């Protein structure tokens, strides 16, 4: 009998980000989209019509035996509840980030998947993008020497300037750390390995903020999270990385990620993107040298690459890269920013993960090994 080539995929959550998934999933023949659902059926129907897929109710999608991987694109506070339902229905689950709004609930999700014998995966998958994998190859080549430190910097005036319904970014489960931290911290773990401890200080300058985008322009949103967060990550390797994640920055000129080694420094592009320039410079160099990006998936938005990797991993019985354990480690680190900020104490991280396997040239043949 011929080996199976495709896995059935169902999507729950037909909001903003689902368009990017539905578009990028067309790149990956391994993903056979069986339907999309939302607690607002009209939203699912509109999205299904736009992308030529089937709309279904949440219940029908979960009951559909042809759906093997459930892609959970609901809002952060619903990730665990929806994920648990899908696991109970026997589906592998791939969740948007963060995997849960706190470590305790996310751990139940990862444990439930393990017990049921299904996979749990989570965004972000941008670290699988060609530029981030090229940066990883630079680290692995030893060109930077021993990594001493680095910086991670994200600062915007707030998603209320563009998102049509931004209140969830300021509710429990939102904030710059849970929203953007997954990209930055996962990107750093891919490069440097697991985090050992976190030190942080944070602010909530405004207890409510106005929505600045249509259609809800002018409505006030309560702010229940820190919106300006600074801290230091100590990696198990010993490297120290300064982190700044903020929804209170009108404009800035910092690079998203820089890594400093004993032999050279490296600029790593925006970890929310798959591509971008990678550059290195040795001590006292006049300028930065470009590192040619030769690894695929750097030229577009491939959101769902992590789902495709998980599908190939299931078909080939190998670990998937955007794993629940990686997402859980990153969530523990993100939560530690809050705990450390409130307590003034350094928080030690208990979970340990291995760096996901680097991507290989087999990508060029349209597969992910």
Ligand X SMILES: NC(=O)c1ccc[n+]([C@@H]2O[C@H](COP(=O)([O-])OP(=O)(O)OC[C@H]3O[C@@H](n4cnc5c(N)ncnc54)[C@H](O)[C@@H]3O)[C@@H](O)[C@H]2O)c1
What is the contact surface with ligand X in residues (CB under 6 A)?
A: 12-18, 38-40, 43, 58, 73-76, 78, 82, 96-97, 165, 179
Nearer to ligand X, 12 or 314 (CB): 12
- Rounded to a whole number of angstroms, the minimum distance from the CB of residue 218 to ligand X is 19
Q: Which residues, at least 6 apart from 61, have a Cβ–Cβ distance to it below 8 Å?
A: 10, 12, 34, 35, 36, 37, 67, 70
Which residue is closest to ligand X by CB? 15
Nearer to ligand X, 63 or 285 (CB): 63
Q: Confirm if 280 and 138 have CB atoms less than 8 A apart.
A: yes
Nearer to ligand X, 17 or 357 (CB): 17
Nearer to ligand X, 40 or 294 (CB): 40
**Rounded CA gap, 209 and 236, in Å?**
38
Q: Confirm if 12 and 72 have CB atoms less than 8 A apart.
A: yes
State the greatest distance between any 2 C-alpha atoms of the chain, in Å, as a whole number.
62
- Rounded to a whole number of angstroms, the minimum distance from the CB of residue 242 to ligand X is 24
φ/ψ (deg, to 5) at 22: -60, -35
Nearest to 63 by CA among 90, 96, 93, 32: 90
- Rounded to a whole number of angstroms, the minimum distance from the CB of residue 73 to ligand X is 5
- Rounded to a whole number of angstroms, the minimum distance from the CB of residue 63 to ligand X is 15
- Rounded to a whole number of angstroms, the minimum distance from the CB of residue 85 to ligand X is 9
Nearer to ligand X, 83 or 261 (CB): 83
Nearest to 149 by CA among 201, 188, 187: 188
Q: Confirm if 118 and 90 have CB atoms less than 8 A apart.
A: yes
- Rounded to a whole number of angstroms, the minimum distance from the CB of residue 234 to ligand X is 27
257-261 β-sheet, strand order: 289-291, 278-281, 265-268, 257-261, 147-155, 240-246, 228-235, 195-203, 347-348
Nearer to ligand X, 144 or 185 (CB): 185
Nearer to ligand X, 178 or 363 (CB): 178
**Rounded CA gap, 315 and 306, in Å?**
14
- Rounded to a whole number of angstroms, the minimum distance from the CB of residue 76 to ligand X is 5
Q: Helices (DSSP H) in 52-174: which residue ranges? A: 58-63, 79-88, 103-116, 130-141
Nearer to ligand X, 101 or 353 (CB): 101
- Rounded to a whole number of angstroms, the minimum distance from the CB of residue 37 to ligand X is 7
- Rounded to a whole number of angstroms, the minimum distance from the CB of residue 130 to ligand X is 19
**Rounded CA gap, 220 and 200, in Å?**
28
Nearer to ligand X, 74 or 244 (CB): 74
φ/ψ (deg, to 5) at 113: -65, -45
Residue 323 DSSP class: B
Helices (H) and strands (E) in the chain, counts: 9, 16
């Amino acid at each position: 009998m011929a080996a199976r080539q495709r896995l059935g995929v169902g999507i729950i959550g037909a909001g903003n980000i689902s368009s990017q998934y539905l578009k990028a999933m067309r790149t990956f023949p391994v993903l056979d989209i069986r339907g999309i659902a939302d607690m607002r059926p009209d939203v699912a129907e509109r999205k299904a019509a736009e992308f030529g897929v089937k709309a279904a109710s949440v219940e029908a999608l979960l009951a559909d035996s042809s759906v093997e991987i459930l892609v959970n694109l609901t809002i952060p506070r619903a990730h665990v509840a929806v994920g648990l339902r899908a696991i109970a229905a026997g589906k592998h689950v791939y969740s948007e980030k963060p995997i849960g709004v706190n470590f305790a609930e996310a751990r139940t999700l990862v444990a439930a998947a393990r017990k049921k014998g299904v996979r749990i995966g989570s965004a972000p998958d941008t670290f699988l993008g060609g530029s981030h994998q090229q940066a990883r190859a630079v680290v692995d080549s030893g060109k930077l020497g021993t990594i001493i430190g680095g910086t991670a910097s994200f600062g915007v005036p707030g998603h209320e300037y563009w998102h049509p319904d931004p209140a969830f970014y300021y509710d429990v489960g939102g904030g710059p750390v849970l929203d953007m931290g997954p990209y930055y911290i996962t990107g750093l773990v891919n490069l440097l390995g697991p985090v050992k401890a976190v030190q942080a200080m944070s602010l909530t300058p405004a207890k409510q903020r106005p929505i600045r985008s249509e259609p809800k322009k002018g409505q006030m949103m309560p702010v229940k999270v820190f919106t300006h967060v600074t801290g230091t990550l100590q990696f198990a390797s010993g490297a120290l990385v300064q982190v700044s994640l903020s929804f209170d920055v009108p404009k800035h000129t910092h690079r998203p990620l820089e890594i400093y080694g004993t032999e050279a420094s490296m600029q790593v592009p925006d970890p929310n993107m798959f591509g971008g320039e990678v550059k290195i410079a040795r001590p006292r160099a006049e300028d930065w040298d470009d590192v040619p990006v030769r690894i695929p998936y750097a030229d577009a938005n491939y959101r769902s690459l992590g789902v495709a990797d998980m599908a190939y991993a299931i078909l080939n019985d190998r670990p998937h890269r955007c794993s629940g354990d990686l997402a859980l480690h990153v969530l523990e680190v993100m939560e530690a920013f809050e705990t450390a900020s409130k307590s003034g104490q350094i928080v030690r991280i208990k979970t340990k993960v291995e760096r996901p396997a680097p991507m290989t040239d087999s990508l060029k043949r349209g597969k992910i090994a």
